[in-house]
A and B are shown apart, each in its own frame.
Chain A
Amino acid sequence: DTEVTQTPKHLVMGMTNKKSLKCEQHMGHRAMYWYKQKAKKPPELMFVYSYEKLSINESVPSRFSPECPNSSLLNLHLHALQPEDSALYLCASSQDRSSGANVLTFGAGSRLTVL
């Protein structure tokens, strides 16, 4: 299995809703990432988990809350979002290598629209 699976593919939510994005991989990768991507822009790193511990939080607002229940799963909990949070949310995973290439395998993304 060489895939990263993200659900849902599309999500529309109001500013008062609470929702979650889910990500799953079975490649034995020990690093998992959340990225945000706006149209025609490169991906922006949000969070990194390494061996199920939060390693990087790129000053993301608290209305985004990541969770890594186990080495295969990564969630992003959403609450009280703003319309400007509308974007493609990409999950990725990689082998957690201390040297050499940490090649990212991306999921297909969850397209989020906040009304």
Chain B
Amino acid sequence: GQNIDQPTEMTATEGAIVQINCTYQTSGFNGLFWYQQHAGEAPTFLSYNVLDGLEEKGRFSSFLSRSKGYSYLLLKELQMKDSASYLCAVGMDSNYQLIWGAGTKLIIKP
């Protein structure tokens, strides 16, 4: 079966750093995506990792370890607007299909 696990909810303080973990067990792998979704809005693409290591993009970084089936999204210098759900998704070999995690709701407090 296909399985992606991420925490349901996390709370962090404005200006701080937070790490959102994602573990996966899937029958195929064609990269791992992170999307951000604000309440009532569409998901927007944040990052893509297909090789092991860290990808940095401004305040956001994403890490992948394929041997461990593990990824994390690191958010630095948190802002109130970062309050959103963060969805981890694994690309499957068909290239169109993504296996989605249930999402992590991130709450930022002043």
Contacts and interface: CB of A to CB of B under 8 A. Distances in A.
Q: Do A and B bind each other?
A: yes
Interface of A: 31, 33, 40-43, 45, 48, 50, 55-56, 90, 97-98, 100-109
B33 A103 contact: yes
Contacts of A109: 41-42
Contacts of B96: 31, 33, 45, 48, 50, 55-56, 102
Contacts of B101: 42
Contacts of A50: 96
Given A97-B95, A106-B42, A42 B103 contact: yes
B42 A108 contact: yes
Interface of B: 31, 33, 35, 41-45, 48, 50, 87, 89, 91, 94-98, 100-103
Majority SS at the chain A contact face: loop
B102 A42 contact: yes
Most chain B CB neighbours (cut-off 10 Å) among A100, A102, A107, A109: A102
17 contacts: A33-B96, A42-B87, A43-B100, A45-B97, A45-B98, A48-B96, A56-B97, A90-B42, A98-B95, A100-B31, A100-B50, A101-B31, A103-B33, A103-B48, A104-B98, A106-B44, A109-B42
